[in-house]
Amino acid sequence: MSGHTDMVLVDKKGIRIDGRTADEHRAFKIEAGVLNNADGSAYVEIGKNKVLAAVYGPRECHPRHLQNPSKAIIQCKYNMEAFSVSDRKRPGPDRRSIEISKITAEALESVVLTELYPRASIDVYIEILQANAGTRCAGLTAASVALADAGIPMRDIIPACAAGKADGKVLLDLNKEEDNFGDADVPIAIIPSTDEIVLLQMDGNMTRREFDKAIKMAMGACHELYDVQKDALKRRYSVDCKEAEPDEQ
Amino acid sequence: MEKRNVKPSREVVVPGDLLDDSGNRPGENTYVRDGKTYASVLGVKNVNSNGISVIPLGGQYMPVAGDTVIGVINDIGSSNWMVDICAPYPAPLHVNEVPWRVEFGDTARYLNIGNVVMLKVLMVDESKKIQVTMNDSGLRRLEGGQIVEIPYAKVSRVIGKSGSMIQMIKNMTDCRIFVGQNGRIWIDGDDERATVAVQAIEMIEANAQSSNLTEKVKAFLEKNLPDSNEEE
């Protein structure tokens, strides 16, 4: 959205620079339980994005003044590694990462049954190892799998996906070039079982009709991503459960 | 949990999975929306006469009144000790709840930081404030031996059906073993035999999902105990 380019982002046949069609998302890969020392963890690849999420808790909340006597709070930290982008990213929290941490925490709060753990805190750490546009969606996707892996009670798992507009066409799951030189980017996250939206942002301009189309495409991709998320969690235990029989409890 | 033999379905569910829409009674780790029951944690679906519930595969120990747990003292106050019982909340042990008469400010003489104690959860209130006690039979300070920590979700496998697993390990290894509901296990006995007992526990932890575990552990113990042949 920031720059201009002579690059043709979508060619006459409707094929994008990475060979996808307008309504095609990048390849998903999710793995749950990749870290031993965290209570729950997940690794997500969406195209060239590589994201690691870890969850600790519920545990005692420090500092004490953040405690909520009626429910648990979710503290989220989104961090981009210095090597995650082609120019070195200056390490440390900045305006952008603080914003993403906040919206991620709020999205997760809408599904986690926080009222079961008054005064506690659930800490979510999202590390972007490699970025190629759409990391907030990939981060949230990873975080919700990590929360489920940590055994934290929640209503549903939330998938997140972006849609946008580049070269005058509505596209699903923008890559870096389309994000940088395109017209708009709309990341959304949903609760798949009810289709409630828990995260919605828009950067750039679109008409109302284009927006509706983008939301519809992103919703569809979220549902596909949701199946991959569930599969990742189930796969973690499927090996043992093949032979599982209820002999003792 | 008793009638597990009536062919329960063993299906791994994730949060948000629909468990039932026929109005079965919703049990633990589930939630209800529009009259349908959904899973709220990652676990194994469990249907029985008490309704439909999910047995968690992970997660943190949540104390329940009446649980016996193993705690480690991590702070001393003038009239209480703070005990770590692997729960999300701190557990204070008040001087009135110990079997000794403790003068005010004299707490460190009885229990010090790092001491391991067997406790009972006395009460957990609505805001999850925990109280623990040592005033019950069998509760005491644990000296010697070693502690093994396992995920609390696997404690039931270590205990086995009506205690069959733990009883077998105790009998065969000749060790004193105490299993806390919070996933801490204390083992004391002859060095070599205690090591085998620890290995057996670790084996249960690694194979918690497999069937016929009692048999497998029995075979393991028979093979690894130094003098099991003479004993049998």
Between B33, B164, B209, which is nearest A237 by CB? Answer: B209
Instruction: Indicate the length of chain A as a whole number.
Output: 249
Locate the chain B residue with the closest alpha carbon to A234.
B12
Q: Do B10 and A120 touch (CB under 8 A)?
A: no
Note the pLDDT of residue A193: 93
> Which residues, in sequence order, are CB contacts of A49 under 8 Å at separation 6+?
A26, A128, A130, A131, A132, A133, A134, A135, A138
Note the pLDDT of residue A249: 39
What is this structure's pTM?
0.90
Helix, strand, or coil here: A21? coil
List residues of chain A with CB under 8 Å from any CB of chain B: 39-40, 57-60, 69, 111, 113, 117-120, 148-157, 191-194, 229-230, 233-234, 237-238, 240-241, 243-249
Between A59, A233, A247, which is nearest B213 by CB? Answer: A247
Cα–Cα distances (Å) from A234 to A159, B153, B227, in that order, read 16, 17, 42
Determine the Cα–Cα distance for residues B223 and B232; give it in Å rounded to an integer. Answer: 12
- Shortest distance between the Cα of B167 and any Cα of chain A, in A, equals 13
Locate the chain B residue with the closest alpha carbon to A32.
B42
- Shortest distance between the Cα of A35 and any Cα of chain B, in A, equals 14
* Residue B182, pLDDT above cutoff 80: yes
Strand partners, A200: A188
B209 touches chain A (CB under 8 A): yes
**How confident is the model over B202-221, as pLDDT tens digits?**
999 888 877 788 888 999 99
B12 touches chain A (CB under 8 A): yes
Helices and strands, counts by H and E, chain A: 4, 10
Determine the Cα–Cα distance for residues A109 and B78; give it in Å rounded to an integer. Answer: 39
User: Are the C-beta atoms of residues B179 and B158 closer than 8 Å to each other?
Assistant: yes
Q: Do B4 and A150 touch (CB under 8 A)?
A: no
Which residue did the predictor score with more confidence, B23 or B91? B91
- Shortest distance between the Cα of A119 and any Cα of chain B, in A, equals 8
Q: Do B212 and A245 touch (CB under 8 A)?
A: yes
Tokens describing residue A180: 């940088």
Per-residue pLDDT of chain A (249 residues; tens, 9 = 90+): 667 778 889 999 999 999 999 999 999 999 999 999 999 999 999 999 999 999 998 999 989 999 999 999 999 999 999 999 999 999 999 999 999 999 999 999 999 999 999 999 999 999 999 999 999 999 999 999 999 999 999 999 999 999 999 999 999 999 999 999 999 999 999 999 999 999 999 999 999 999 999 999 999 999 999 999 999 999 988 755 444 444 443
Whole-number percent of chain B with pLDDT over 90: 65
Short-list B219, B157, B151, CA closest to B182: B151
Among B1, B14, B37, pick the best mutation site for testing chain A contact (most A Cβ within 10 A): B14
Note the pLDDT of residue B232: 44
Measure CA of the first residue to CA of the last residue in chain B; give whole Å: 33
Cα–Cα distances (Å) from B188 to A222, B158, B205, in that order, read 53, 16, 19
**How confident is the model over B96-109, as pLDDT tens digits?**
999 999 999 899 99
Note the pLDDT of residue B11: 86
Q: Are strands B91-94 and A169-172 parallel, antiparallel or unpaired?
A: unpaired
Between A120, A151, A230, which is nearest B58 by CB? Answer: A151
Note the pLDDT of residue B7: 47
Q: Do A247 and B212 touch (CB under 8 A)?
A: yes
* ipTM reported for the complex, 2 dp: 0.86
Determine the Cα–Cα distance for residues B107 and B102; give it in Å rounded to an integer. Answer: 6
Asked which of A140-144, A151-155, B31-35, B228-232 is least confident by mean pLDDT, the reply is: B228-232
Q: For residue A54, list chain B residues with Cβ-Cβ distance below 8 A.
A: none
Instruction: Indicate the length of chain B as a whole number.
Output: 232
Between B42, B164, B210, which is nearest A148 by CB? Answer: B42
- Shortest distance between the Cα of A238 and any Cα of chain B, in A, equals 8
Tokens describing residue B81: 């000790």
Rounded to the nearest integer, the mean pLDDT of chain B is 88
B87 touches chain A (CB under 8 A): no
Show which of residues 141-160 on chain B sit within 8 Å of chain A, judged by CB atoms: 153, 156-157, 160
CB atoms within 10 A of CB B105: 12
Tokens describing residue B108: 């460190």
B212 touches chain A (CB under 8 A): yes
Between B4, B14, B209, which is nearest A240 by CB? Answer: B209
Tokens describing residue B85: 């019982």
Phi, psi (rounded to 5 degrees) for A162? -110, 155
B100 touches chain A (CB under 8 A): no
A–B CB contacts, 8 A cutoff, strictly below = 128
Compute CA B197 distance to the chain's CA centroid, rounded to the nearest angstrom: 17
